[in-house]
Chains A and B, each alone.
Chain A
Amino acid sequence: MAEERSHMVTGRSGRFLHGLKIVVLFILALLFLLPFYVIFRNAFTSSEAFVAAEWTWLPDNLDFSVLRDLFSDTDLNLPAAMLHSAIQAVGQTLLTVLVSFMAGYGLARFPNKAATVVLRLTVLTLMVPTAVTFVPSFIMTTRFGWIDSYRGLIIPMMFSAFATYMFRQSLLEFPHELEEAANLDGANPWTTMWRIVVPNSKGIIAAVTTITFIGAWNSFLWPLLVARDNTMTIQLTLSRFMTSQGVNYPKLFAGALVAIVPVVIVFLVLQRYLVQGLETSGMD
């Protein structure tokens, strides 16, 4: 009896706590979404309202000519920056996924001594990523004469230990039977990979693609070192205008809005795969 009663009390207080939790989570969710709203609000606020003493929540300049002005501004040169970023991010993503999928497949399917060594090296590289090795990588890229080129932006960044590790972990669980059936039909490992393994690994491919694309599109330090006028990316353009004097704030935030739209779309479309990918093979 006593136990039942205590259960009922926890039940009732549990329901109260549950409601409280939902309210707190809801406020937190709004706080997390606030920066996105502020970008929108800033982009469509007039300069006067932006620097007014009283903070206004609603934009006072909801006019899409803001975006037209933004794209025709030759100082900012946004269309070029978007193009450079698109080429860099898409190129880096495709190459990373291709190279890492092959490596992950090789590591998962042909476990030999060499694979153990490569896997160790990969895990070690996971811990010492490019952010730390930027000085030596920069020296290397300068030596190759790749400064201010897509080669310089993409190639040194496309060998991702993280992507390879994710693919390897996921492909370890790929059902052997499917591949064996293909082998019996006389397919070699290369065709097996393309015809059997790739089409059945869409989830993990989508996850790695999303992570790589977001990282590439948002990358800052490496483009800061390598990109010049011909390859100036969107993040660099925004950063340069933000840290310079006499900025037109609304225009800058309109630029930010344009810069986050592609990633947010990719993110929202592929979020399900991203979560699944991280949940099944992110960490082990």
Chain B
Amino acid sequence: MSSSTLSKPPPRSFWQRVRGRQGRNLWFALFVAPFLIGLLIFVCIPIIWSAYLSFFDARATLSPTTFVGFANYQNLLTDPLFRKSMLVFIVFAVFIVPLTYVCSLALALALNNVGTLRAFFRSSFFIPTACSYVVAAMVWRLSFFNGARFGLVNSLLRKVGGSNIDWLSGVGYWYWIALVSLRLWLQVGYYMILLIAGLNRIPTDTYEAAAIDGAGRWATLRHVTLPQLRAVSAAVLMLLLIGAFQAFDEFYNLLSSSGTYPPYARPPLVHLYLISVGGADQDLGMGGAGTVIVTGIIVLFGLAQNWLVTGQERREKKAITPTAQDRREEVSHG
């Protein structure tokens, strides 16, 4: 050991190496610190703080003094509106998650060999991503699903002999059609792009092999495409589920009027907003309890998804391990 350091005379290189190693850590800190500090202050600490507030009576105050134990949780979990909001989320997710996934996948597959029109189609399906929920809600609420006779869908309905439907008033469950179609329009293109990316990563020789084996369209889809897409699909479904859980903009903009929100179709986030910030109550303790419950549910989703996908990932990582190579390089340098 010592002989090798002696045989390499310049101590400068040794110092450089030490400095380099320490320097690397300093540089790492310099690069990552702004992001990490921001993440801690504006995401992590607030979650902890709201967990703290959730044990206090914090109505219209930020510095509560009355410790109430689990009363906020008890109130929230027995609150029929909060329970109903969970039901609203489940119904919404049951529609929106599979529907968005299937439509995105169908479009991604359909665009695979369209030829010259591909760019036009892709842009057309993708461009709603640029639209805001507010503007989309304007079109849906005031034109497409306007309950009055001048709504577009009502006009079309009358043409085929139907009668006007009051889409968003909470009479019947018609508002679900507006809610689901709006979100579908806004999101399908984005997930289509993610799935196209997944499709592009499937090696062409697997398709060739399937063709040689005489596999038809459906067989290829079932036995080659879908299994190879499993990782991307799992990620997309997870994103969709979390997205559905956080739905706020379209519900609020389609259904609220003059600052009040009707009792029906109140998803968890809207309910949290109304009890803690936007409504008359300003109950931050209750909002804190809601945040903890909602975060807990999302973490559960995440763990479940992680559990489902890790097996797949490990198998993939066995093939190529660039990170391991990096580590080996580091070891030999140090």
List chain A positions with a Cβ less than 8 A from chain B.
10, 21-22, 24-26, 28-29, 32-33, 35-36, 38-39, 42, 50-55, 99-100, 102-103, 105-107, 109-112, 114-115, 118, 121-122, 124-125, 127-140, 142-143, 155-156, 158-159, 161, 164, 172, 188-190, 193, 214, 217-218, 220-221, 224-225, 235, 238-239, 242-245, 247, 249, 252-253, 256, 259-260, 263-264, 266-268, 271, 275, 278-280, 282-283
Q: Does B196 contact A (CB under 8 A)?
A: yes
CB-nearest residue of chain B relative to A218? B132
Q: A35-B131, A242-B141 are in contact. Are A133 and B47 (CB under 8 A)?
A: yes
User: Contact at A139–B34, with CB atoms within 8 Å?
Assistant: no
* A133 touching B326 in the complex, CB below 8 Å, given contacts A100-B35, A238-B134, A279-B197: no
Q: Which of A10, A124, A135, A225 contacts B284, CB < 8 Å?
A: A135
Provide the residues of chain B in CB contact with A100, threshold 8 Å: 35
Identify the closest chain A residue to B154 (Cβ): A55
- Interface residues of chain B, those whose CB is within 8 Å of chain A, are 24-25, 27-32, 34-36, 38-39, 41-47, 49-50, 53, 62, 107, 110-111, 114, 117, 120-144, 148-150, 152, 155-156, 185, 189, 193-194, 196-198, 200, 216, 231-232, 235-236, 238, 242, 245-246, 248-249, 252-253, 256-259, 269, 272-273, 276-278, 284, 287-288, 290-291, 294-295, 298-299, 301-302, 322-323, 326-327, 330
Given A135-B291, A218-B134, A245-B257, 14 extra CB contacts under 8 A: A10-B216, A38-B143, A39-B135, A53-B150, A102-B31, A132-B298, A136-B53, A159-B39, A214-B129, A220-B253, A221-B269, A242-B134, A268-B127, A283-B231
Inter-chain contact B150/A136, CB cutoff 8 Å? no
State the Cβ distance, B122 to closest chain A Cβ, in Å: 8
Evaluate contact between B150 and A128: CB separation under 8 angstroms: no
List B contacts of A225 (CB < 8 A): 277-278
Contact check, A140 vs B295: say whether CB atoms are below 8 A apart.
no
Pair B276/A135 contact, Cβ less than 8 Å: yes
Residues of B within 8 A of A267 (CB): 127, 129-130
Chain A residues with Cβ below 8 Å from B256 are: 243
Q: Indicate whether A38 sits within 8 Å of B144 (C-beta atoms), given known contacts A106-B28, A111-B323.
A: yes
User: In the complex, what residues of B have CB within 8 A of residue A156's CB?
Assistant: 42
B138 and A238: CB pair below 8 A?
Answer: yes
**Structural contact, A127 and B139, CB atoms closer than 8 A:** no
Knowing A35-B128, A220-B134, A224-B278, the reply to whether A243 touches B257 (Cβ < 8 A) is yes
- Residue pairs across A and B with Cβ atoms less than 8 A apart, 11 shown, are A25-B121, A32-B127, A111-B323, A114-B32, A131-B246, A136-B46, A139-B284, A239-B134, A259-B135, A267-B129, A282-B197
A50 to B242, CA, bound (A): 38
Considering the chains assembled together, what is the distance between the CA atoms of A39 and B140 in angstroms? 10
Assess whether B25 is in contact with A106, with CB atoms less than 8 Å apart.
Answer: no
Could you tell me the distance between the alpha carbons of A33 and B196 in the complex, rounded to whole angstroms? Answer: 21
For A32, give its contact among B128, B133, B140 (CB under 8 Å): B128
